[in-house]
Amino acid sequence: MGYHPFRAVAVLVAVLSLTATAPVNAQEGQEGSPPAPESKVESGQVGIGEPVLDDWTARQRTYETETDGVYLTELYSSPVNHLVDGEWTEIDTSLAEGGDLGLESVSSTVDVSVTPTSDEGSLASVVLPGDASVRFSLLGADQTPAVVDDSTATYEDILPNTDLQLEVLPAGLKETIVLDSPNAPSTLPVSLGLAGFVSFHGRRHRELRR
């Protein structure tokens, strides 16, 4: 057999799994007893009822069902809930009118705001817990109205042959720059406004901490 220095392994990760709790048949497991029938939750016959917020976590949601004693729990690989005034609330990153710049995320773990029309002023701001904040500007930006699609604001031709996309994440903001032509600018002058951060200078790098 030849020697293979590299092997590739594909792993499929389940992002969302559903579990339910149901009464256990006392005869289950005894020899000769019939198999337990499929639960109504497993067969999709049970609808989701009121949320059981006391059992929610950042990555878990539990609901009542129409069957007494049967609950539906959804498990996620990343946060889908956050605490608002001591109560668990679903994260909603979609953009709506509001915020200090004109558009804001509906309900995310940090306060994100973006401008409805770009210019050389602030395009976006992110306020972290503890009131530390970051503001982002693109110098030389043209006045361009934002095209909003759910949690993403797109500024077309904000610079020559250049589009900018700002996407709200559950705990931050993602910036994507799209160059439409080889003639697009090779450098993008960006300005950051920081508040509540302290700069630490090392021998080879500089680090910002809250």
Of residues 39 and 5, more confidence is placed in 39
Whether pLDDT at 174 is above 70: yes
Pairing mode, strands 122-127 and 117-118: unpaired
Q: Which residues contact 13 (CB under 8 A, 6 or more apart)?
A: 77
0.85 exceeded by pTM? no
Q: Quote the CA–CA distance of 147 and 177 in Å, as a whole number.
A: 15
Taking the mean position of all CA atoms in its chain, how far away is CA 108? Answer: 8
Whether pLDDT at 137 is above 70: yes
Whether pLDDT at 110 is above 60: yes
Q: What is the pLDDT of residue 200?
A: 64
Kindly indicate the confidence band of residue 204, based on its pLDDT and cuts at 50, 70 and 90: low
Kindly indicate the confidence band of residue 49, based on its pLDDT and cuts at 50, 70 and 90: confident
Q: What is the pLDDT of residue 120?
A: 85
Q: Are the C-beta atoms of residues 150 and 95 closer than 8 Å to each other? A: yes
39 DSSP 8-state letter = P
Other CB atoms within 10 Å distance of the CB of residue 80? 20
Kindly indicate the confidence band of residue 44, based on its pLDDT and cuts at 50, 70 and 90: low
Q: What is the pLDDT of residue 29?
A: 43
**Where does residue 180 fall: left (phi above 0), alpha (psi -120 to 50 degrees), or beta otherwise?**
alpha
Per residue in 90-103, pLDDT tens? 999 999 999 989 99
Share of the chain above pLDDT 90, in %: 52
Per residue in 152-167, pLDDT tens? 999 999 999 999 999 9
Q: What is the pLDDT of residue 96?
A: 96
Residue whose tokens read 């956050």: 82
